[in-house]
């Protein structure tokens, strides 16, 4: 074999070897195919974004209520549990007239004596059933006019009247004088007719009250406050305005219409004409 032919064969063999090596290296360097992944699979559960939540709607603004301030009340109020041992023929007024308001002054120390009065063990108003029924009818008519009752006192035990008598005899006790009797000698309150030694309240058919505006609960202006001892508190007084006189007449007219008679010296004081116990003075406690 000639040297030229040998060199040609060796060259061809070398080229084949180089080509084989090059092909192998290319295959080894070829990247591994990446599997196709759907968009739902690209996020792991731990990193999952929360589903889109609907936008939170803001609360609508509060709409003022047209409901009146004076509303029906439950039988038991303000944690007061009635004893319910009333004599036959007597009732709790708040149950007979649920739309009325109550401020039982003699249960508190805000009265002309300046302390809680004997026999008032709870701030609950009591009347005979007949008086309460007549008052209920008057209340319904007032309701149509935009008013409601505010009741200060109803039945009054005899022991309470005795408390008033003891107070009147103590000339040194004048702590409530400026508010309730600035121009009156307290020792003369019986003679002047502001306090009675035997009160019609003890018969159970007398009530002390005023009227309030149903929408606000504010008392109507009567020209003088409840239990104020003075000429200004009498019916027909010239010491009040025409508007105040008209206000007193709203109360007076509805009370007279439903069978009550007024007491001339006190615009707030009314007694049922046909009272069931005209000669009996009771002494059971208000409780």
- DSSP assigned state of 56: P
> Collapsing DSSP states into helix, strand and coil, what is residue 109?
coil
Phi and psi torsions of 19, nearest 5°: -65, -40
CA distances from 36 to 31, 33, 40, 284 (A): 15, 9, 12, 95
| Active-site entry in 81, 266, 275, 287 | 266
Cα(124)–Cα(33) distance, rounded to whole angstroms? 92
Crossing angle of helices 129-144 and 242-257, in 10° steps, is 130
Q: Examine the residue annotation and report whether 266 is marked as an active-site residue of this protein.
A: yes
Q: Measure the CA dihedral 241/196/251/222, to 10°.
A: 30
- C-beta separation of 173 from 167 below 8 A: yes
Residue 150 CA to residue 69 CA, distance in Å, equals: 13
- Residues serving a catalytic function are 266
């Amino acid at each position: 074999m000639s040297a030229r032919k040998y060199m040609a064969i060796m060259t061809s063999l070398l080229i084949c070897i180089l080509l084989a090596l090059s092909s192998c290296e290319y295959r080894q360097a070829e990247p591994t195919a990446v599997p196709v992944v759907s968009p739902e699979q690209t996020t792991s559960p731990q990193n999952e974004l929360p589903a889109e939540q609907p936008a939170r709607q803001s609360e609508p603004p509060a709409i003022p209520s047209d409901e009146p301030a004076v509303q029906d009340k439950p039988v038991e109020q303000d944690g007061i549990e009635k004893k319910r041992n009333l004599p036959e023929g007597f009732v709790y007024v708040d149950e007979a007239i649920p739309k009325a308001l109550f401020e039982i002054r003699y249960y508190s120390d805000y009265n002309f004596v300046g302390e809680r009065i004997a026999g008032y063990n709870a701030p609950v108003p009591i009347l005979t059933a007949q008086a309460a029924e007549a008052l209920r009818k008057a209340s319904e008519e007032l309701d149509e006019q935009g008013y409601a009752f505010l009741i200060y006192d109803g039945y009054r035990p005899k022991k309470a009247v005795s408390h008033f008598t003891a107070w009147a005899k103590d000339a040194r006790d004048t702590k409530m004088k400026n508010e309730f009797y600035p121009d009156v000698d307290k020792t003369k309150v019986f003679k002047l007719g502001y306090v009675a030694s035997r009160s019609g309240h003890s018969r159970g058919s007398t009530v002390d009250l005023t009227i309030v505006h149903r929408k606000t609960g504010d008392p109507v202006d009567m020209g003088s406050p409840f239990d104020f001892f003075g000429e200004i508190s009498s019916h027909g007084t010239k010491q009040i305005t025409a508007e105040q006189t008209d206000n007193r007449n709203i109360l007076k007219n509805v009370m007279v219409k439903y069978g009550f008679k007024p007491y001339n010296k006190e615009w707030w004081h009314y007694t049922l004409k046909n009272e069931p116990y005209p000669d009996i003075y009771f002494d059971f406690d208000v409780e």
